Amino acid sequence: MLEVEIISTGLFDTLQDEGRPGYQSQGVPLGGAMDRQSAALANQLVGNPLGTPVVESTLLGPRLRFLGPAQIALTGALVRPTLNGHPMPRYTTVNVSPEAILNIGSMKQGCRTYLAIRGDWRVQKWLGSCSPPPYQSEVLTPDSQLQPGQLLKIQNTPNIEIRQFPPQDHPIFPKICEVRVFPGPEWGAFSDSARQSFLTQPFTLSKDSNRMGLRLKEQLPEAEHLPGLLSSAVLPGTVQVPPSGQPIILMADAQTTGGYLRIAQVSTNDLPILAQCRPGDQVQFRLHV
Amino acid sequence: MTLQPFGDRALLINWEQRIDPELNAKVHAWQQAIEQAAIKGVEYSIPAYCSLTVVFNPMQIAFDTLAEKIQALKIPEPSTRHAGRTLEIPVDYNGADLPEVAQRTGLSEPELISLHSNRPYRVYLIGFLPGFPYLGPLPEALHCPRKQTPRQSVPAGAVGLAGAQTGIYPFEAPGGWQIIGQTSLKVFDAESEDPFLLRPGDTVIFKPV
DSSP state of A275: H
Q: How far is A140 from chain B (nearest CA, A)?
A: 7
Do the beta carbons of residue A264 and residue A285 sit within 8 Å?
yes
- Searching chain B, which residue's CA lies closest to the CA of residue A184? B6
Which of B8, B10, B127 minimises the CB distance to A256?
B127
Q: How far is B45 from chain A (nearest CA, A)?
A: 6
Determine the topology of domain B2-71 in CATH.
Gyrase A; domain 2 (3.30.1360)
| Interchain proximity A23–B199, CB inside 8 Å | no
Residues 6+ apart with CB under 8 A from B81: none
* CATH homologous superfamily for the domain B86-208: Cyclophilin-like (2.40.100.10)
Cα–Cα distance between B108 and A134 in angstroms, integer? 38
- Searching chain A, which residue's CA lies closest to the CA of residue B134? A231
pLDDT of B77 > 80? The answer is no
Cα–Cα distance between B181 and B160 in angstroms, integer? 7
Measured between beta carbons, the chain A residues lying within 8 angstroms of B199 are 26
| Interchain proximity B131–A27, CB inside 8 Å | yes
Measured between beta carbons, the chain A residues lying within 8 angstroms of B63 are none
Counted across chains A and B, CB pairs separated by less than 8 A come out at 106
Region B176-200: what's the mean pLDDT?
A: 93
Q: Which value does ipTM take for this structure?
A: 0.95
> pLDDT > 70: what percent of chain A?
100
Report pLDDT digits (tens) over A229-245.
889 999 999 999 998 99
State the average pLDDT for chain A. Answer: 96
pLDDT of B83 > 70? The answer is no
Residue B80 confidence (pLDDT): 57
The type of residue at B197 is L
- Is the CB of A27 inside 8 Å of chain B's CB atoms? yes
Q: What is the CA radius of gyration of chain A?
A: 20
The neighbour count for residue B151, using CB atoms within 10 Å, is 17
| Interchain proximity B171–A135, CB inside 8 Å | yes
pLDDT of B84 > 90? The answer is no
Domain locations in chain B?
Answer: 2-71, 86-208
B8 to each of A189, A235, A263, A269, B34, how far by Cα in Å? 20, 11, 15, 9, 19
Residues 6+ apart with CB under 8 A from B91: B117, B159, B181, B182, B183, B206, B207, B208, B209
A222 to each of A189, A191, A247, A250, A279, how far by Cα in Å? 11, 7, 13, 22, 25
Residue B79 confidence (pLDDT): 65
- Is the CB of A238 inside 8 Å of chain B's CB atoms? yes
pLDDT of B82 > 80? The answer is no
Region B72-96: what's the mean pLDDT?
A: 85
| Interchain proximity A27–B130, CB inside 8 Å | yes
Cα–Cα distance between B104 and A218 in angstroms, integer? 35
- Searching chain A, which residue's CA lies closest to the CA of residue B127? A27
- Searching chain B, which residue's CA lies closest to the CA of residue A139? B190
Which of B10, B18, B49 minimises the CB distance to A235?
B10
Report pLDDT digits (tens) over A101-154.
999 999 999 999 999 999 999 999 999 999 999 989 999 999 999 999 999 999
Residue B76 confidence (pLDDT): 77
Cα–Cα distance between A100 and A63 in angstroms, integer? 11
Cα angle, residue B42 at apex, residues B38 and B45 outer, rounded to 5°? 100
Could you tell me the mean pLDDT of each successive run of 10 residues in chain A, 289 residues long? 98 98 96 98 97 98 98 98 98 98 97 98 97 93 97 96 93 93 97 96 96 96 85 97 94 95 97 97 95
Interface mutation vs chain A, best among B30, B44, B134, most A CBs within 10 Å = B44
- For β-strands A176-183 and A282-287, DSSP reports them as parallel
- Is the CB of A257 inside 8 Å of chain B's CB atoms? yes
| Interchain proximity B7–A265, CB inside 8 Å | yes
